[in-house]
Amino acid sequence: MKNIAHFATGLALASFVPGVMEDAGRGSLLIALGGLCAMLPDTLDFRFVRYLERPDANIAPDPAQPDPQQIADGIAMQMWLAASGKRPRIVHLRPARFSVTEWVLYTVRFDTAAGDVTVVMDRDGASASAHVGRMDYTYEGDLHVEELGGPSLRFSDTGNGIQIEFLPWHRVWTHSLLIALALGLLLGWLIEPRAGLVAGLGYAGHVLEDQLGYMGSALFAPLLRKRGSGLGLLHSGDAIPNIVTVWLSLSLLLLNMDRARVAPSISVGPYLAFGVLLPSVVMLGIYARRRWKTHLAHVEAERQRDIVAEAQEYQT
């Protein structure tokens, strides 16, 4: 989820804490604490944790002669080193500056079925592949290496192939329910119990929302440091899930604001049915339909590739 969606979630969760909405009407900013703490996990990761990573290798194209084969072979070599050395390798994919305003950008695709790493250059569409064998890549989709920086990957030998972890520094200790609990206890002690409850709920809401995606989180760090897999229901940058999250959060926030009034004016049943659930269900239905069509297109592309491979084998 985007941070605006997490922020809205934190506000909505805080509004359910008894007394928070009433105090907000008297000028209290306690509800804002929920939104701020809901943004805190990603803020820590992208502003601090990412800069602590020490990659074993940096892979970038030659700006004078961009060669997709050189990039694909470089990635394959790092995977081979991880397998032969029995030690994880952290690799940072980087772009190259072609001129003052232009960059050499590319896309990396891990084909787990064929066991290939494919690199496609953005400038001319040139592509190349390197065969690496069995690999486990749980993050769905291609990796786009864009201006100013690209993603980092960790390659680990599992004994049954190479495991590929996307952004190994992200969603580890910062995305833990135990950290949410610790934050709540700390702020409850420093400020007041309700502040701790609001902060803990906002932080935990962010962590649980991220579980809907593909990457997952280390839910019980530091006791369990390994990042688990997500449910794979959505991508964090997809527009509709973020819109639905903001819609649900702000709709519930409005309802709780009304309930905090001396004389509430919103009829709860119809409001929840037609103002909250119906628009959300419609938007999620559109999103699910798009995802299903994309899945069918991917299946058809795989089928066509198998047909071509069988035809080539027959001809040879």
C-beta neighbour count of 5 within 10 angstroms:
23
41-47 long-range contacts (CB < 8 A, ≥24 apart) are 41/171, 41/174, 41/175, 41/203, 41/206, 41/207, 41/210, 42/3, 42/6, 42/174, 42/206, 43/3, 44/174, 45/169, 45/170, 45/171, 45/174, 45/175
User: pLDDT by residue (tens digit) across 81-136?
Assistant: 999 987 999 999 999 988 878 899 999 999 988 999 999 999 889 999 999 999 99
Successive 10-residue mean pLDDT values, the chain, 316 residues: 94 96 92 97 94 94 93 96 90 90 92 93 93 86 85 92 92 95 97 97 97 90 87 87 96 95 93 95 94 74 52 49
| Every domain of the chain and the residues it spans | 3-42+172-266, 54-166
Helix (H, G, I), strand (E, B) or coil at 188: helix
Predicted confidence at residue 308, as pLDDT, reads 47
CA distances 4 to 37, 136, 295, 296, Å, are 12, 32, 28, 31
User: pLDDT by residue (tens digit) across 239-266?
Assistant: 999 999 999 999 999 999 999 998 999 9
Strand partners, 155: 89, 164
Q: Classify each residue of 49-82 as buried b or exposed e, where b means 16 or more C-beta atoms within 10 Å of its C-beta.
A: beeeeebbeebbbeeeebebebbbbbbbbbbbbb
Predicted confidence at residue 100, as pLDDT, reads 78
The Cα–Cα gap between 286 and 291 comes to: 9
Pairing of strands 152-157, 89-93: antiparallel
Largest interatomic CA distance in the chain? 82
